Structure formats: C-alpha cells, structure tokens
C-alpha cells in the first residue's frame, strides 16, 4: 500500500540530530527553543522531490536510536533504498555506535545505499563544540560508501544537498528504478480494482 517511491531510513545514536534533520528537510524548520525530546518509536514523513525532471515521493523513517527499540529497528531498514547514518563529530560514542549500524545494514540490507552524516556543523564552525572524531578515520570509512555530508539543521546547510544526492543516486540506479516502476504499475492496478469495486461510493 506504500505510495512512496523511495524509502530512506535515518540511523544513529540518540541526540545526534536525526529528528532535526528530517524536520529541517521536510518542514524547513528548526526548533531551538524547545528542550530535547527523544523520538518515541519511529516517525514517518513523506516529501515530493524532483530528479532528472521527474517527480518522486520519498518516504523517510526517523528512528529513535535508543537501545530500547533496537529489536524493532530492523523493520525500518528492511527494504530501504538508502540509509543516512548520523553521528556528531564532538561525540566519539556516537561514532562508535555508527559502526554498529553499518554492520547491521551490511548483513540485513546489503543493497541499501549508505550515506554518512556529520550533524550540527554550526556548532563546530562556531567553536561551541570540539571535534573528537578523527577526520581521517571518517574519510577512510566513507570510501566504501555513497557519500559523507557535513550538515547543520539549524542553518540548513547541506541538508537539501544530502537528500537530493540520495534521490539522484536512486534515479541513476537501473535496478532501483525498475522496482519503482513495477510498484507504480501495481499500485495503479490496485487503485483501479478498488475503484471498480466501490463505484457506488464517491470519494470527492
């Protein structure tokens, strides 16, 4: 029943800024005033995007990152076309955790395109946070992956670029696009069947 062409999942420890990243991308907002609230379970958002002159519906799963829900997390990255794994440069622990997600993805969803995202760039730029994670190690790690982005949800820097790159990569991938086409055809069939069955009931 999913009406989304691409499925993207956000992974990473609690508090690294996953929810803020989605909020910035989907609603162009950043909540700096409100105190931190952890995500309950997982949250789903959809957004329309363009690539190569065509429209696509992108579904984004924002996960909680807490140990409590870990057993459930697989469900969110099953079938994901892309994963954004977030970490904070000022937190070695969040980087350590990132490697765990990477391994999980490799075993469960090997075709998933993986992007690393270093969050809260504005804090690094202003000197409010100190880099703890070694840049060279990050560079080595991201070699085998689809990309590494340094973003700020506060200023919006690199946020659209990250998601645009993901969608462009998906669109350029023949195999993914074949699946998308098939899903669309299938959905049209279902819709037609549904409408035929409910002729007497008008939805508008």
Partner 1 sequence: MASTSKNIPSTANPENVTDDIEPGACTDSILNPTDSFEEFASEMSSSLEERNTLAAKSSTISEIQSEIGESSKETLRETKSSDNLQSKDDSISGSASSSNLTEQNGEDTECERDEYLRSPELVNKEKHVFILSSAGKPIYSRYGNEDKLAGLCGVIQALVSVVEEQNQDILRSISTKDCKAIFLVKGPLILVAVSKSNESETQLVLQLTYAFNQIVSVLTLTQLNRIFEQRRNYDLRRLLSGAERLIDHLLIFMEKDPAFLLGAVRCLPLPEKARENITNAITSTCSKIRDLVFAILIAGNQLITLVRMKKYTLHPSDIHLLFNLVRSSESFKTAESWTPICLPKFDATGFLHGHVSYISEDCQACLLLLTVQRDAFFPLSQAKHTIAEKLRRSNCLVAINDALNRNKELPTTNPLKHIGIPEIRHFMYKCKSTAQLFTSDPISLDRLQDYRLRHKEGGDITEKKIEKLSDIDYVRNYRKFCSQIHCSSTPAKLIFRSNSENTVLAWVTNGFELYVTFDALMEKDHAIRAVDRLLHWIKKEEERIFIMHAPTF
User: Which residues have CB under 8 Å from 182's CB, separation 6+?
Assistant: none
Q: Is 93 in the site for partner 1 (CB under 8 A)?
A: yes
Nearer to partner 1 (CB atom), residue 70 or residue 134: 70
Nearest residue to 102 via CA among 12, 6, 7: 12
Q: Is 66 in the site for partner 1 (CB under 8 A)?
A: yes
By the criterion CB under 6 A, which residues form the site for ligand GDP? 14-20, 32, 36, 38-39, 65, 119-120, 122-123, 152-154
Among 8, 9, 19, 21, binds Mg ion (CB under 5 A): 19
Distance of closest approach, residue 156 Cβ to partner 1, in angstroms: 17
Q: Is 109 in the site for partner 1 (CB under 8 A)?
A: no
By CB under 5 A, which span of 11-19, 111-119, 171-179, 192-200 interacts with Mg ion?
11-19
SS3 content of the chain, % helix, strand, coil (to 5): 45, 20, 35
What does 72 bind: partner 1, ligand GDP, Mg ion, none (CB cut-off 5 to 8 Å by kind)?
partner 1
Scan residues 6-45 and list those touching partner 1 (CB under 8 A): 14, 19, 22-23, 26-27, 34, 37-45
Beta strands 54-63 and 42-51, pairing class: antiparallel
**How would DSSP label each residue in 71-134?**
HHHHHHHTT-SEEEEEEETT-HHHHHHHHHHHHHHHHH-TT-EEEEEEE-HHHHHHTSS---S-
Asked whether 114 and 81 are in contact (CB, 8 A), the reply is no
What does 96 bind: partner 1, ligand GDP, Mg ion, none (CB cut-off 5 to 8 Å by kind)?
partner 1
């Amino acid at each position: 029943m999913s009406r989304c062409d691409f499925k993207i999942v956000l992974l990473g420890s609690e508090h690294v800024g996953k929810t803020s990243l989605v909020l910035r991308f989907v609603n162009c907002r950043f909540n700096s005033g409100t105190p931190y609230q952890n995500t309950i379970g997982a949250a789903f958002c959809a957004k329309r995007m363009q690539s190569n002159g065509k429209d696509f519906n992108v579904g984004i799963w924002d996960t909680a990152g807490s140990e409590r829900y870990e057993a459930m997390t697989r469900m969110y990255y099953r079938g994901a076309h892309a994963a954004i794994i977030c970490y904070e440069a000022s937190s070695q622990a969040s980087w350590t955790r990132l490697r765990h997600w990477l391994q999980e993805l490799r075993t469960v969803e090997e075709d998933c395109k993986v992007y690393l995202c270093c969050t809260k760039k504005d804090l690094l730029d202003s000197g409010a946070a100190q880099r703890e994670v070694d840049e060279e190690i990050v560079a080595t790690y991201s070699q085998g992956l689809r990309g590494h982005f340094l973003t700020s949800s506060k200023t919006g820097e690199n946020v659209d670029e990250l998601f645009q790159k993901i969608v462009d990569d998906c669109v350029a991938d023949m195999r993914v696009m074949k699946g998308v086409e098939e899903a669309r055809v299938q959905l049209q069939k279902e819709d037609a069947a549904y409408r035929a069955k409910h002729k007497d009931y008008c939805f508008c």
